[in-house]
Amino acid sequence: MKINFEPIGYIKSPHKEAEGTPIQTGGAKGIEGELELLSKHQAGLKDLEGFSHIILLYYCHKAGDNKLVRKPFMDDKEHGIFSIRAPSRPNSIGLSVVRLTEIKDNILKIKDLDMLDGTPVLDIKPYVPEMDVKEVTNIGWLEKNIHKMEVKKDDGRFLDEKEREK
Amino acid sequence: MKINFEPIGYIKSPHKEAEGTPIQTGGAKGIEGELELLSKHQAGLKDLEGFSHIILLYYCHKAGDNKLVRKPFMDDKEHGIFSIRAPSRPNSIGLSVVRLTEIKDNILKIKDLDMLDGTPVLDIKPYVPEMDVKEVTNIGWLEKNIHKMEVKKDDGRFLDEKEREK
């Protein structure tokens, strides 16, 4: 079964290279950018400006090989790809919850941007605590490592080989 | 730009038809099911059992036309598709945060299941409050409607026409 998607828009971001890019929105507080939605989808934005936060699903377009076990940015041990948030995945879909500050025509101004410039966006959903906030009891290997989240930066390890040679 | 994905596995769920299915995990508390991962991806599950909650991204395979303005289950007014969580979207990707109770080989036992039986899964990510919990200031049109979330059921309105004729 093949599933085909097309980008609904693209990210404009100050992060031009993987190296040095925050690894999560928590390390990107206040960083501003835009989502430029394709104008054919503009009607779908109706009433979105009422939400302070939105979920962006996007295609990690520079991610490379998808080995099933990898060292994440926050640990020096290997973990399964489904227990880490690395961009290189069997289906390289990224997820970021960002602040929505303004919508003007087909342009969404956003804050806390941890995405690369040019990232193709697949979906926008309103972020709703009643749906998206869960009380967890365990966060596995991250328990001892989550304190690194806001300071660790991308070092390019998940880039496609062609991108690394640039 | 075409983006091609393949399912990493499929959902086994007691929800066989859209009609009557909970519209969010909050309305599906305790409902049990499984994710049967394709065995070729099994190594990617390493260390996932340490997480109490996981994010599932999936393809809403029975969703129909993707009109940009729709009436959601929780309101009788129309809103833009990006300000509602309906399954019919320009790229019909669903997102559910579910409880992970057990992993046995390539089978993940999950609770709070709001997905249809047979749903193709695109990605599994660990749910991490430090990444996924945000303090919002506004939830737009849902402010007055979110109390319906746990009781409203799917009525089939977003089904593909072929599915509706069945």
Task: Report B:95-134 residues touching A (Cβ under 8 A).
Answer: 95, 97, 120, 122-134
- Which is nearest to B142 in space by CA: A116, A161, A132, A120? A132
Which region holds residue A105: left if phi is over 0, alpha if psi is between -120 and 50, else beta? left
Is B142–A134 a contact, with Cβ atoms under 8 angstroms apart?
Answer: no
Q: What is the pLDDT of residue A163?
A: 75
- CB-based contact (8 Å) between B153 and chain A? no
Q: What domains, with CATH codes, occur in chain B?
A: 9-157 (2.40.30.70)
Q: What is the pLDDT of residue A162?
A: 78
Residue in A45, A91, A136 nearest the CB of B5: A91
Residue B123 — φ and ψ, nearest 5°?
-160, 155
Nearest-Cα residue of chain A relative to residue B37: A82
Taking only the tens of pLDDT, chain B with its 166 residues reads: 899 999 999 999 999 999 999 999 999 999 999 999 999 999 999 999 999 999 999 999 999 888 999 999 999 999 999 999 999 999 999 999 999 999 999 999 999 999 999 999 999 999 999 999 999 999 999 999 999 999 999 999 999 987 776 6
pTM assigned to the model: 0.97
Residue B45 CA to residue A73 CA, distance in Å, equals 18
Residue A73 CA to residue B18 CA, distance in Å, equals 40
Residue A164 has pLDDT above 90, yes or no: no
User: In chain A, which residues have their Cβ closer than 8 Å to the Cβ of B146?
Assistant: 128, 130
Contacts of residue A97, Cβ cutoff 8 Å, sequence gap at least 6: A25, A53, A54, A55, A56, A112, A127, A132, B131, B132, B134
**Cβ neighbours of B137 (radius 10 Å):** 8
A11-28 pLDDT tens trace: 999 999 999 999 999 999
Best to test chain A binding among B1, B2, B3, B35 (most A CBs inside 10 Å): B3
Which region holds residue A20: left if phi is over 0, alpha if psi is between -120 and 50, else beta? left
